[in-house]
Chain A
Amino acid sequence: DAKTTQPPSMDCAEGRAANLPCNHSTISGNEYVYWYRQIHSQGPQYIIHGLKNNETNEMASLIITEDRKSSTLILPHATLRDTAVYYCIAYNTDKLIFGTGTRLQVFP
């Protein structure tokens, strides 16, 4: 699976959009981009995934560049409860390998 690179930490004001970047320059054509988050010590939670097209669900939006070398997870209106570690994973096989993720701190 392709390696992903994320900033170790980010801050975001409550109510503002949180844009979390992820680089996956070695991603192959059949690898999906998956996003998970882990709130405090809970188990990771699936957020969204995509292959080529941008995706949106009730939790977030995923923007994938045309060359697929990077993507951005967007939380449109961040709340304090969105404070968590966010993981970007390139996946096409049968197991998810988590990196170190981005620690997002949403402040009032």
Chain B
Amino acid sequence: DAGVIQSPRHEVTEMGQEVTLRCKPISGHNSLFWYRQTMMRGLELLIYFNNNVPIDDSGMPEDRFSAKMPNASFSTLKIQPSEPRDSAVYFCASSLVMWGTGTGELFFGEGSRLTVL
């Protein structure tokens, strides 16, 4: 079975450019999560969706970041304009969450390593 698929795996861009990261969750999963990982801040939850609807975006750093999930099989995380401090590994994860039963088993993609010069 295909896992969570992220693209691109590596992205190098210059400050001020727009960056779009993509994620295809596991088929049948109803929740999707975007995390960011840096040495300084560890793994941070940016935003998550349930049934394609954004539920909590309190972790999104600022207005330069936006995320969409137009359908159950695709999500994007966009940074515009990008800054050097956005350099990090961005992980997408999906799960089948059944509320109240504690089944928080997330399946993570391999990540997108972003470097902003």
A96 at the interface (CB under 8 A from B): yes
Which interface class (under 10, 10 to 19, 20 to 34, 35 or more) fits B?
20 to 34
Q: List residues of chain A with CB within 8 A of the CB of B35.
A: 98
User: Would you call B93 and A43 a contact (CB within 8 A)?
Assistant: yes
User: Would you call B45 and A44 a contact (CB within 8 A)?
Assistant: no
Tell me the bound Cα distance from A96 to B108 in angstroms.
12
Q: How far is the CB of B53 from chain A (nearest CB, A)?
A: 12
Type the 1/0 row for B19-55, where 1 means its CB is closer than 8 Å to any CB of A. 0000000000001010100000011010010100001
User: Would you call B42 and A32 a contact (CB within 8 A)?
Assistant: no
User: Would you call A96 and B106 a contact (CB within 8 A)?
Assistant: yes
Q: List residues of chain B with CB within 8 A of the CB of A41.
A: 89, 111, 113
Q: List residues of chain B with CB within 8 A of the CB of A31.
A: 102
User: Would you call A96 and B110 a contact (CB within 8 A)?
Assistant: no
Tell me the bound Cα distance from A96 to B44 in angstroms.
10
A99 at the interface (CB under 8 A from B): yes
A91 at the interface (CB under 8 A from B): yes
B residues 79-110 in Cβ contact with A at 8 Å: 89, 91, 93, 97, 99, 102, 104-110
A5 at the interface (CB under 8 A from B): no
Binding site for A on B (CB under 8 A): 4, 31, 33, 35, 42-43, 45, 48, 50, 55-56, 89, 91, 93, 97, 99, 102, 104-111, 113
User: Can you spell out 16 A-B residue pairs with CB atoms less than 8 angstroms apart?
Assistant: A32-B104, A34-B104, A41-B113, A42-B110, A43-B4, A43-B91, A43-B108, A43-B110, A45-B108, A46-B105, A46-B106, A94-B50, A95-B45, A95-B48, A96-B104, A96-B106
